[in-house]
């Protein structure tokens, strides 16, 4: 009886840095990001692709990194929450999360930010409905989404309704 030995060397860019990794073929992308690269800002909240805490950008698109194998990211461009304030300055979205009290325990926050950032990228002035649709794949158990939605709408300059 042997452990599966199929492994592969992959290379991708993460938050602007090129990395090369040898991973087991079955290694989940989220585990490669967290365990192999030490970027622990990306979180795991479920085993089933429901919660979105592991959301990262793959070639600019938000994806749930627990639903991808690491080998699928070979050659891709990945962005994680750690890359948002890479210059040391919080982005308007990160600031808005703070100013609107859009997080409590902060566990869902990296995924929320990455989903919201992707939304703002394609729609810089989202309405409340746009935000709720864009975040429907991200579960938060603390906030009831009220302040998260407000924060994202505010970044786009939209008005929050009461």
Using CA atoms, how far apart are residues 54 and 42, in angstroms rounded to an integer? 5
Near another protein by CB under 8 A: residue from 85, 121, 124, 125: 85
Angle in degrees, 0-180, between the axes of helices 92-99 and 109-122, rounded to the nearest 10: 130
**Interface stretch with another protein, choices 6-14, 71-79, 119-127, 138-146 (CB under 8 A):** 138-146
Near another protein by CB under 8 A: residue from 30, 63, 100, 119: 100
Angle at 24 between CA 28 and CA 112, to 5 degrees: 15
Q: From the centroid of its chain, how far is CA 132?
A: 16
**CA atoms within a 13 Å half-sphere pointing along the CA-CB vector of 121:** 12
- Residue 62 binds to another protein (criterion: CB under 8 A): no
Q: Which is nearer to another protein, 68 or 135 (CB)?
A: 135
Near another protein by CB under 8 A: residue from 37, 71, 154, 155: 154
- Residue 64 binds to another protein (criterion: CB under 8 A): no
Near another protein by CB under 8 A: residue from 27, 54, 63, 69: 27
For 27, the 3-state DSSP assignment is coil
Using CA atoms, how far apart are residues 33 and 43, in angstroms rounded to an integer? 10
Near another protein by CB under 8 A: residue from 40, 59, 121, 122: 40
Using CA atoms, how far apart are residues 61 and 55, in angstroms rounded to an integer? 10
- Residue 116 binds to another protein (criterion: CB under 8 A): no
- Residue 24 binds to another protein (criterion: CB under 8 A): yes
Using CA atoms, how far apart are residues 97 and 36, in angstroms rounded to an integer? 29
Residues that bind another protein (CB under 8 A): 1-4, 24, 26-27, 31, 34-35, 38-48, 50-51, 53, 80-82, 84-85, 90, 94, 97-101, 103-110, 113, 131-133, 135-150, 154, 159-162
């Amino acid at each position: 009886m042997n452990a599966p030995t199929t492994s592969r060397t992959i290379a991708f860019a993460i938050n602007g840095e090129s990395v090369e990794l040898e991973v087991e073929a079955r290694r989940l992308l989220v585990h490669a990001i967290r365990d192999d690269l030490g970027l622990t800002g990306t979180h795991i909240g479920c085993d089933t692709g429901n919660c979105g805490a592991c959301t990262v950008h793959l070639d600019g698109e938000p994806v749930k990194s627990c639903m991808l194998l690491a080998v699928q990211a070979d050659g891709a461009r990945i962005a994680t929450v750690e890359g948002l304030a890479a210059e040391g300055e919080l982005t308007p979205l990160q600031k808005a999360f703070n100013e609107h009290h859009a997080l409590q325990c902060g566990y869902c926050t990296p995924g929320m930010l990455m989903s919201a950032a992707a939304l703002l990228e394609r729609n810089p002035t989202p309405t409340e409905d746009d935000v709720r649709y864009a975040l429907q794949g991200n579960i938060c158990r603390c906030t009831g989404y009220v302040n998260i939605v407000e924060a994202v709408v505010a970044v786009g300059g939209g008005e929050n309704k009461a």
